[in-house]
Amino acid sequence: MNESTTPAPIPENAAPVDTRPLAERVDAPETVAEIQHPDVATWRPATPDDIEEMVVLVDACDRVDHPTWLTPREDVEEIFELSHIDPRRHTRLGFTAEGELVAVAGILVHPSQDAHVYVYCTGMVHPRWRRRGIGTDVLRWEYETAQTELAQADAAVPGAIFLHAYEHDADARALGARRGMPEERWFTTMLRDLSDPIPEVPTELRIEAFGPQWWEPTRAARNDAFRDHWGSLETPRERWERFVGGAQFRDDLSRIIVDGDRVVALALVTVNEDDWEVQGYTSAYIGLIGVVRDYRGRRLAPAVITAMLTAARDAGLEKVNLDVDTESPTGANSLYGRLGFEATEREVAMVARF
């Protein structure tokens, strides 16, 4: 058995595991009070007719909160397209008396719930309308709405509510702390200049460009590779096809390693050309890197990454970036450093567990 998949021993003094159904462990409100704030005249669920205004708000927030990358339009559109998102229950938009959209409240309930039930808080407030208490009210609604989602789970599985913020965003981190969501895990963004030499890492297996014929085998590989990663749940087919079939996904830059007809390693890439304006260079983003657990220790990760880097360089791109768990069980952050990636910024996950 691979060392990383061996269950950790339970300490003798460990607290007893609560085997009650999650619904009995979450003190959810019977009714979530609607958001009210003196500067915001109207709160209502989002509809597809709001997409244009939501895209404008998201762009304004992006340029302050993480100015080196922008949210693709399709990420806003999917709120109204994915089957596990109910905009009527999971979103609220805040408008001024003049009709300006100044805040979005939202939660995302992960569709895979066999082993855990995870809910993510995704709200934002326009930078010009911050430091007025709107964010506090938004997070209160998100948190209580997330609790009601957790309280619907009859299985005796762990539940959690997540809020992410960048290291420099003291206001967002303070919001999480006041809501009782401790900072639990850090993630580092790393950047690789493609003008630097790219090493060749040989492998006896076959490296291929990604394509539709590999969609499902690669999803299986992704789910196996990330099974022992912090906060990771299985990606269902609907979300996967949305990802690999998206406008930003690049088959030609993505690489997989295949043994027979089985995908055993992957480096999957997106390109958002809107990022280039704020970055000042052309770039690609490695959204997923993984090696199935029974193939670890064979240098497949550096082989698939360097093949992907070479493809990006040959396509004329200048840099590649990625995000990595600072405590990855596979030592990924150290590997990326050895391959020429350099840390640029950090993001923290704040988590309330049930």
Which residues neighbour 48 within 8 Å (Cβ) at sequence distance 6 or greater? Answer: 80
pLDDT of residue 17: 63
Q: How far apart are CA 264 and CA 18, in angstroms?
A: 36
DSSP state of 210: -
pTM of the model: 0.91
pLDDT digits (tens, 9 = 90+) for 16-63: 567 899 999 999 999 999 999 999 999 999 999 999 999 999 999 999
What gap in Å lies between CA 138 and CA 113, rounded to an integer? 25
pLDDT tens-place string over residues 74-123: 999 999 999 999 999 999 999 999 999 999 999 999 999 989 999 999 99
Please say whether the beta carbons of 147 and 26 come within 8 A.
yes
Mean pLDDT, rounded, of the chain = 93
Q: Cβ(154)–Cβ(118) under 8 Å?
A: no
Read off φ and ψ for residue 153, nearest 5 degrees: -85, 120
- Domains, the chain, ranges and CATH? 14-181 (3.40.630.30), 189-345 (3.40.630.30)
Q: Are 134 and 39 in contact (CB under 8 A)?
A: yes
Q: CA 19 to CA 199: how far, in whole Å?
A: 50
